[in-house]
Amino acid sequence: MTNDGKKRYFGIDPQTRQIVLGTWRIPLPDSPLLRILIGSLLVVCGLLGFLPVLGFWMVPLGLLVLSHDIPAVRRARRKLAVWWARRRGTENSSGK
């Protein structure tokens, strides 16, 4: 918990459909096609991260956006979140 009483976490807020990165919130478009397009572009551009302006940080952000609509990516993200929470010894976003 943070000092302001709000819990910090990383992922997609299921109520607001926003990407949550700590204290930052990025709204996702309503259209699934647009979300898939944005996520795919982030991953592809992130693979070109050695070029100026682009960065490898775009790959995990793109996968996070894609996990909202693609079940296989969602499962992989969830497994990673559970593994990370167990490794750190803290509870994950589901409260387990």
Q: CA dist 77 to 10, 61, 72, Å?
A: 11, 11, 9
For CA atoms 80, 81, 85, 86, the dihedral sign is: negative
Task: Tell me: pLDDT of 77 over 90.
Answer: no
Domain spans of the chain?
Answer: 30-88
Measured between alpha carbons, how far is 46 from 54 in angstroms, rounded to an integer? 6
- pLDDT computed for residue 37 by the predictor: 94
Local confidence band at 93 (pLDDT 50, 70, 90 cut-offs): low
Using one digit for the tens of pLDDT, what is the confidence trace for 1-35?
344 445 657 778 878 888 888 888 888 888 899 99
